[in-house]
Structure 1
Amino acid sequence: MTVRVRRVYQSPEPQDGVRVLVDRLWPRGLSKEAAAVDEWPKALTPSTELRRWYHAGEGSYEEFARRYEAELAVPEVAELLDGVRESAAKGPITLLTAAKAPEQSHAAVLARLLQD
């Protein structure tokens, strides 16, 4: 199973496979054509409260990841995660985010969970 994490502002590549936007808000200044997004499961994104808490610098990335995993365990959200996992089992999948540091974002948590 190949799961990649990339910034949505990077040009699409053939090896991206299914491109999944994992941000709640559409990225600023980016057209839908340029983004080439195949799926946008908004419910998989961190809650507004968790996102604001993390961006305010109130906690560590490890604590953010733990809280986000708890949000992903809610049955309705877990079902969406399973759907993305099924897509990833069929071929490459790229999780797209506008985060400036994708390796320290919710997209990295999702990638890890999808590969487990």
Structure 2
Amino acid sequence: MGNSQGSSAGRFAIKRIYDEPADDDGCRVLVDRLWPRGVSKERAQLDLWLKDVAPSPPLRTEFAHMQERFAGFRAAYEAELDGNPAVQTLRDLAAEHGKVTLLFGARDPETNHARVLQEFLARD
């Protein structure tokens, strides 16, 4: 499963969708199930909206971005990712583009599903 191109850790970045797009973002993928408020499709400059890699609606509702629930959320979301074919889509995009930026709408840059997803992808 190793990759002679180096680890996948550096191939996946995360960024709030509200931040300005940058030339070095590579392939820009929105990994939220819901479209972020106040962001136009033009401003987002997305290459792909991959709703299927986001946490399931019941899991997202249960977590509710509450810090004290994050550890349980992380474990449940990683279990969802284990069998999710959308994870392979992201790995294929990284192989094709060299870098994928996972875009999310949450306010907290550390306690969110995109961070969990980035760390999950880096294990390969």
Q: TM-score, normalised by structure 1?
A: 0.89
Counterpart in 2 of 1:83?
Answer: 89
After the TM superposition, which segments of 4 or more aligned residues of structure 1 sit over 4 Å from their partners? none
SS in 1 for 2:110: helix
Partner residue of 1:9 out of 12, 18, 30: 18
Gaps of 5+ in 2: 1-7
**How many aligned residue pairs are there?**
113
In structure 1, what is the Cα distance between the partners aligned to 2:65 and 2:22?
33
The yes-or-no answer on 1:101 pairing with 2:108 is yes
Counterpart in 2 of 1:60?
Answer: 69
Q: TM-score, normalised by structure 2?
A: 0.84
Task: Give 1:42 deviation, angstroms.
Answer: 0.7
Please report the RMSD computed on the Cα atoms of aligned residues, expressed in angstroms.
1.6
1:52 to 1:33, Cα distance in 2 relative to 1, 3 A: same
Gaps of 5+ in 1: none
Q: Percent identity?
A: 42
